[in-house]
Amino acid sequence: MARTLHIGCLQYCAGMDTDRNLRRIEKLLDRATGSGAQLVCLPEYATCYGSRRGRLVVGAEEEYEHAGLLALKDMARQRSIWMLIGSIAIKRSDGLINNRSYLIDDSGNIMARYDKIHLFDVDLEGGESYRESDLVRPGEQAVLIETPFGHLGLTICYDIRFPQLYRTLAKAGADILFAPAAFTRKTGEAHWHTLVAARAIENATYLVAPCQCGDQKGKLKRYGHSLIVSPWGEVLADGGESAGVITATIDLDVMDAARRSIPALQHDRLFEISVLPRQDRNVEETKRTPTSS
């Protein structure tokens, strides 16, 4: 197994035109591979993402005929690179979709699939509201895949707020964790860097988080700031607010050293919680007796 990996993240603003998005991806992909990237990562809803009359437009198709998936598999094969498709929308028979991530190998084969487990149903200040569950059926299984670059753990966007998922993947042997996203600008400004760094630090693992940037005519404002973070929480690359490519070299020896230094994964303990009833403060107060000088 290789101990180092040169990794790249593509950052852009996907719209509702899949063909246009694929042309944009291909140009950025050539920049990433030109810099030596062996594994290139795309954000959530990589090939189609927009809003029409208040409803998300994500280009859902069945997997076997998904134009975006087929094109991206060809791009990986033609360039002999591995690719993480942050996610695309896959039609289900029940009328909903799966928000599904794919790991593609350098021959264009699907090596792993992951369906987003935690769905973004929130009401933000200022009237900004999201109901992902209106469209998406949540996944039920965490996914860890062995590759020539180590064991890779797959997550998507809102999953980043659920540390138990990342702990489970790390305890199962994850060397690199992925969190492709289309994080909103409001929540990104408040929490993105902190959440990504925290998941990397607490599990002593690399965390790679490609994120969409920009907005669609003032709608679906995306934060950008794709990140590659080390096991010590050091930001190795930050995509800022504009479209582009970031790269960094991942060194598994650095991860091993971090885990030897602070072996928190070995220190996890099972415990119970005691929920105490409310008590009258006066019962436990100790009466103070004045002292004379």
Q: Which residues are catalytic?
A: 44, 116, 157
Q: What angle do CA 253, 170, 145 make, to 5 degrees?
A: 85
How would you classify residue 218: left for phi > 0, otherwise alpha for psi between -120 and 50, otherwise beta? left
Tell me how long the chain is.
293
Residue 243 contacts residue 11 (beta carbons within 8 Å): yes
Nearest to 237 by CA among 213, 261, 206, 212: 206
Nearest to 239 by CA among 93, 42, 4: 42
Nearest to 177 by CA among 208, 146, 147, 202: 208
Give residues with Cβ within 8 angstroms of 243, minimum separation 6.
11, 12, 13, 24, 28, 213, 214
CB atoms within 10 A of CB 197: 18
